[in-house]
Amino acid sequence: MRRDLHMKTYLIDIIAGARPNFMKIGPILRAWPKGGRIRYRLVHTGQHYDRAMSGNFFHQLGIPRSDVNLEAGSGSQAGQTAEIMKRYEALLKKQPADMCLVVGDVNSTLACAIVAKKAGLKVAHVEAGLRSGDWKMPEEVNRVVTDSLSDLCFTTSVQANRTLIREGKKRSQIHFVGNTMVDSLVSHRKRFKPPPFWQKAGLKKGGYLVLTLHRPSNVDQKEKLEEWLKRIVRHSQGYPVIFPVHPRTAKTLSMIRVSSVTPHPRSKIHRQPSAFRPILTTSPLGYLEFNYLVEQAKAVITDSGGITEEATVMRVPCLTLRDTTERPETVIMGTNELIGTDPKKLGPALRRLFEGRWKKGKIPPRWDGKAARRIVKILGLGTKN
């Protein structure tokens, strides 16, 4: 009896919900030693559910099928968060766990952290301590609340450690481990491959730009999105601009005449050449194809946070169409620059790029492909490698 008690398995739920989560959990699962007393259960919340936004990433990153899929799906901010909470709470009631490990800043991160804490589980947060200071972003609310509930905080920078200390975390709760998204990049880089339209679109290394936009502030209004696209066309010096379109953006883009290199299944994007001719849209790409495109590009124009990190590691110039960033090291050390949300600022920045006056950048400390190994060691698992 005593022996059984001693040998009790300790179960850690690893939560993944939306596209940017998958490259963060992949390396942790890979570093997890087989057997042993500490086990994981992979819980997919179903926030992202399309093959293009979810399934393909599991496949390409070699992530095992999730143990549980909560199938929460889309909804308003509150609706989606509440649905994930209800379903995760039901799971914990039926099949309890001891710890909940969440990554990043999406609604799934917040929802599961709240439920786990109230159910008496320990909470661990990977990518803790990031702050943009912009409370209009749902992600900022998710970051602050998740960190406030977390018993263990794994960080990607010294700056994040300082933020957490300032907010009252104990030093013993904070671990500067590096960046698991970079772990994925380092381990899959040799497998990057050109997307199917590479030849058809006549793309060459350094001969095109990559564009991604999905923040509500940039894409929810037709006029704003159109203004960005017009500016990009005007200042891209005829370079093709490859634009993999996020489902949120596709809804607005269907009202604008933009050419497509591949048909987008969910939108009526016009395929006729138009005033936006250098911009070529495509449906969301797989991890290996997207990062090939970035690695070979002249530059990336984006409003994503994760892409600024990947561009920094691949030393590709990155123009961020936001006023703030929660990842300042990509600007201070990396190749990223905050252009802002005023489309007029884009022209001068692109001019500097084409004149060859963009900074070269350095890779931030501990973005070395070993973050996941540090995490599993701290979780008491020892290391596999």
Tell me which residues are annotated as active site.
Answer: 214
Please select the residue that binds ligand UD1; options are 138, 148, 158, 230, rule is CB under 6 A.
138
By the rule CB under 6 A, 20 interacts with ligand UD1: yes
Please select the residue that binds ligand UD1; options are 169, 214, 327, 366, rule is CB under 6 A.
214
Phi and psi, residue 367, nearest 5°: -90, 65
By the rule CB under 6 A, 169 interacts with ligand UD1: no
Question: Nearest to residue 232, comparing CAs of 273, 296, 278?
Answer: 278
By the rule CB under 6 A, 366 interacts with ligand UD1: no
Long-range contacts of 344-347 (CB under 8 A, 24+ apart): 344/231, 346/228, 346/231, 346/232, 346/235, 346/301, 346/319, 346/321, 347/231, 347/234, 347/235
Please select the residue that binds ligand UD1; options are 53, 119, 149, 333, rule is CB under 6 A.
53
Please select the residue that binds ligand UD1; options are 41, 86, 248, 270, rule is CB under 6 A.
248
Residue 39 burial (10 A CB sphere; 0-12, 13-18, 19+):
middle
- Please provide the distance, in angstroms rounded to a whole number, between the alpha carbons at the two ends of the chain: 34
- Stretch touching ligand UD1 by CB under 6 A, among 128-136, 161-169, 196-204, 241-249: 241-249
- Stretch touching ligand UD1 by CB under 6 A, among 43-51, 61-69, 146-154, 256-264: 43-51
By the rule CB under 6 A, 139 interacts with ligand UD1: yes
Please select the residue that binds ligand UD1; options are 12, 14, 18, 242, rule is CB under 6 A.
18
Which of residues 63 and 203 has its CB atom nearest to ligand UD1 in the complex?
A: 63
Q: Compose the 93-132 pattern: x for residues touching ligand UD1 by CB under 6 A, - for all others.
A: ------------xxx-------------------------
254: region left, alpha or beta (phi > 0 left; psi from -120 to 50 alpha): alpha
Alpha helices in the chain (DSSP H): 2-6, 19-31, 56-60, 77-94, 107-118, 138-149, 158-166, 180-188, 216-219, 222-235, 247-253, 287-296, 306-314, 329-332, 346-354, 371-378
The β-bridge partners of 285 are none
By the rule CB under 6 A, 21 interacts with ligand UD1: no
Q: Which two tokens stand for residue 215?
A: 């923040």
- Residue 13: other Cβ atoms inside 10 A: 27
Please select the residue that binds ligand UD1; options are 33, 62, 71, 74, rule is CB under 6 A.
74
**Min dist. Cβ of residue 109 to ligand UD1 (A):** 8
**Min dist. Cβ of residue 215 to ligand UD1 (A):** 8
**Min dist. Cβ of residue 112 to ligand UD1 (A):** 12
Residues that bind ligand UD1 (CB under 6 A): 18-20, 47-50, 53-54, 74, 80, 105-107, 138-139, 214, 246-248
